[in-house]
Amino acid sequence: MRFDVLTLFPEMIEAYLRQGILARAINKGLVNIKLVNIRDFARGRHKTTDDRPYGGGEGMIMKPGPIDRALKSVDRVEGISRVILLSPQGKQFAQPMAWDMSQWHQVILICGRYEGVDERILATHIDLELSVGDYVLTGGELGAMVVIDAVVRLIPGVLGGERSTLEDSFEEGLLKYPQYTRPRTFQGMEVPGILLSGDHEKIRVWRRRESLRRTVERRPDLLKQARLTAEDKAILAE
């Protein structure tokens, strides 16, 4: 899989990609991530990438020319690459979309800055506008990193097989149960006894109950779409 990220701040994204699981995935060749500096496609002595909005108003808008030329510089796998703009106006990114995207061959992410991007870039190039949540950021870079991170960890081989991505919170539409490691006592607080019992069936049921409890308390909206078993429904009825 390949990502091409168009940004005015490639160093920001580079720093994140150099650490941890993403760095390992890139080094193993499981994903190829190219950063394209939009500034390299700006023209004139000042290499301007923004300008004042027609119609007046506060702030600046990203000029279409540099983004258009940056996009045309990207090696496209014809027909199977998709161009995404991170924006507060986008469809909200979530785990099912991360799974879909992990099957795509090439994703081109555009990170906007200033007050946004000239609408003609959306009209001519953008296949999908994505938002990582209902809040405003100073740029699309954090959103691009969120998408890359969530998708790359789903690519087979990236998580080293030491754990299943299917066990994650959200894969079954529920929140994660409480987790503990050593020491058994920490600042006077004990690990729940059942987790020390060695009774795997009891532990499984306890964890499921705690997942359901948390979801009901914190994210009842998730229950509508959760994949609930007969056992889950019995626990919820209780």
CA distances from 137 to 36, 83, 195, 238 (A): 20, 20, 41, 42
Tell me how many residues contact ligand 4H6 (CB under 6 A): 17
State the Cα torsion 138-141-145-147 to the nearest 10°. Answer: 90
| Cis peptide, bond prior to residue 183, ω within 30 of zero | yes
Residue 28 contacts by C-beta under 8 Å, 6 or more apart in sequence?
A: 157, 158
Minimal distance in Å, beta carbon 119 to ligand 4H6? 10
Binders of ligand 4H6 in range 120-139 (CB under 6 A): 131-133, 135-139
- What x/- string results for residues 206 through 235 when contact with ligand 4H6 is judged by CB under 6 A? ------------------------------
Among 10, 64, 116, 173, binds ligand 4H6 (CB under 6 A): 116
Q: Is 86 in the site for ligand 4H6 (CB under 6 A)?
A: yes
Minimal distance in Å, beta carbon 112 to ligand 4H6? 3
**CB burial of residue 79 (10 Å; 0-12, 13-18, 19+):** exposed
Interface residue list for ligand 4H6 (CB under 6 A): 86-88, 112, 115-117, 131-133, 135-140, 143
**Residues annotated as catalytic (active site), given as ranges:** 88, 115, 153, 168
